[in-house]
Amino acid sequence: MRPRINNTYPFKRVPDKPSPAFPDSTERFLPHLYVGLTTRAGKAFWTPALLDTGASVTLFGTQWAEALGIDWQNCPTVKFIGIGSLNTGYAADISMSHR
What residues does each domain of the chain span?
Answer: 11-98
Phi-psi label, residue 65: left if phi above 0, alpha if psi -120 to 50, beta otherwise: alpha
Q: Which amino acid is at 65?
A: A
Residue 47 scores a pLDDT above 90? no
β-bridge pairing 27-39 and 77-82? unpaired
Residue 5 scores a pLDDT above 70? no
> How far is CA 6 from its chain centroid?
19
Distance, CA of 21 to CA of 32 (rounded, Å): 24
Name the β-bridge partners of 81. Answer: 86
- Per-residue pLDDT averaged across 37-48, rounded? 86
Q: Give residue-wise pLDDT tens across range 53-97.
A: 777 788 888 988 898 889 999 999 999 887 788 989 999 988 888
> pTM for the full model?
0.65
DSSP structural state of residue 28: E
